[in-house]
Structure 1
Amino acid sequence: MGRADVWLKRSYITATCLVGIVSALLLGFTLFSHGHLHNEEEIEQLLSGLSGLYVISIIPLLLSIIGVYGVCKQKKWALISFTVGLILISLLVIGSLIHGLTAIPQVVKTLNMHYQSFKPLSDAGDVVQEHIRELQVELQCCGLDQGYVDWGHNISKSCLCIKGSTNPCVAAPGNLIHFETDGVQPVMVYKEPCLPLLIALQVTVVHVILGTMLGITLLWLLSVVLCIVILCRMNRKDNVPTVVYSPEAKAGNYITLTDTVEYT
């Protein structure tokens, strides 16, 4: 290999090792998530997503090992397997990214309908009310889409504003407060409803996941381009000087030169 080919080889090995490292981290995250969600009731709905994560983590990890072996041992079959396999998995991920982007409005609509079915919150079950209270404390909000009005005649205590709140607060009517207060100052509750904040948070998480997968896919495609260039260099024939027969190059035309030694 020439000097340029050496740097090409090193660049490919670096990119392929990064593919392997990222795939190993993704596999570890998938295993952790699977174990963490194993006892959850929604595990059946998440199995398809977990299966997809296993595919896009295990296959690139194995292909990266094959690719490094192929470039170190100059094995064309290994480099071709790496290129074809990573192109196929990249096309699969790109298709999933496009589907994910187009499905965001439907996800927002489904999420909105799901939480709207809980209204009025004062008549919802204990499990639902506890879930909404946790959201209100975490997101510093109150109600779903109409603020404290969604709680009817019994505003939840988790709607109370805390000191240093980053979200705006509003005074709630005293006749809707059924917990102890000082009775001097008006009770301040969060003004923002929870559902818009929750939807914005979910959309942001989806965008971060899609952006991360796009970055990983670009890394895959970079290693594929480098692998294709290496395959082209390996298939290129070097210029071999042409051997020409000369009739003068035959026995008898050679003269042996020796030094004459004089003996005295």
Structure 2
Amino acid sequence: MAGLCGTSILAVAIWLQAGKDGPEILSPGAATINPYIAVNILIVVGVTIMILGFLGCFGAMKENQFVLLLFFIGLTLILLLQVVAGIVGATNKSKTERALKETLQTNVHLLSATNGKLFQKAFSEIQEKLKCCGLINGASDWGDNFQYYYKSCECPGASDSSCTKYDGKTIYKQSCFSLIRCLFSRSLSIVIGLAFGLAAVEVLGLIFSIVLYCQIRKK
């Protein structure tokens, strides 16, 4: 059971981590609000729980009290950390989203800068995926750099209500800020939900392990 929990956490964490553009668009100075830090922690937790799961299976098969006790203590510590992290994440969600907004507003000047290539490249890829253009004010956020990155803003249908004309190009009308905020909020909600949801399953694992421990002790 613990092994399945660990595998589930690891699978979801890797899926969230697959979006590699997040850290670049939040940089610099956004480590405190970066959800990818929480995702990295989830990966570590997932691997740890998988190891504990194998430990629990070994203890159950061999009816080894010491190994079962190690499993129980380890899973209890992980469970406590998981619940605390979930509570902290849930109570600070709105604060974190405000910090995200401030960070993006601070970083918007990098789109028109001459030395923000890493940010610009990452943001260009996000524009293409989310079908939006610019960060706060639309295409004008790019300044003179628009000529280099307009292709990621291009809208296929000129008559589409989601498109507009800018500098002779047909581009997406909507800026990316609200879409990034929704993406960020969804990732944060998944992390928090995972922490609480799997905690219930882990409690069952703790109950089964202590019951088995007591039964072996009575023999």
TM-aligned CA distance change 1:153 to 1:51, over 3 Å:
closer
| Corresponding residue for residue 189 of structure 2 | 207
For the residue of structure 2 that corresponds to 1:171, the secondary structure is: strand
Q: Does 1:79 align with 2:73?
A: no
Q: Which of 1 and 2 has higher RCO (CA within 8 Å, sep 6+)?
A: 2
Question: Is contact 2:5–2:202 with CA below 8 Å preserved after alignment?
Answer: no
* Structure 1: tracts of 5 or more residues without a match: 1-14, 180-186, 238-264
| Corresponding residue for residue 243 of structure 1 | none
Over the residues paired in the alignment, what is the CA RMSD in angstroms? 4.1
Separation of aligned partners in 2, 1:134 and 1:51: 22
Residues 34-183 of structure 1 mapped to structure 2, 5 A cutoff: 52-53=41-42, 55-119=44-108, 123-125=112-114, 127=117, 128-151=119-142, 157=150, 158-163=152-157, 168-172=161-165, 176-177=166-167
Question: Is contact 1:121–1:129 with CA below 8 Å preserved after alignment?
Answer: yes
Q: Which amino acid aligns with 2:205?
A: S
Which one has a bigger Cα radius of gyration?
1
Q: Percent identity?
A: 26
Give, in angstroms, the shift of residue 163 of structure 1.
Answer: 3.7
Separation of aligned partners in 2, 1:69 and 1:152: 62
Question: Is contact 1:168–1:190 with CA below 8 Å preserved after alignment?
Answer: no
Separation of aligned partners in 2, 1:170 and 1:144: 16
* Structure 2: tracts of 5 or more residues without a match: none
Separation of aligned partners in 1, 2:40 and 2:67: 26
Separation of aligned partners in 2, 1:203 and 1:29: 16
| Corresponding residue for residue 245 of structure 1 | none
More helix by share: 2
For the residue of structure 1 that corresponds to 2:85, the secondary structure is: helix
Residues 211-230 of structure 1 mapped to structure 2, 5 A cutoff: 211-230=193-212
Separation of aligned partners in 1, 2:192 and 2:122: 27
CA deviation string 1:209-240 (max 9, x = no partner):
33233333332211111122333444568xxx
Using the size of structure 2 for normalisation, the TM-score is 0.68
Q: Which amino acid aligns with 2:153?
A: C
Separation of aligned partners in 2, 1:168 and 1:207: 31
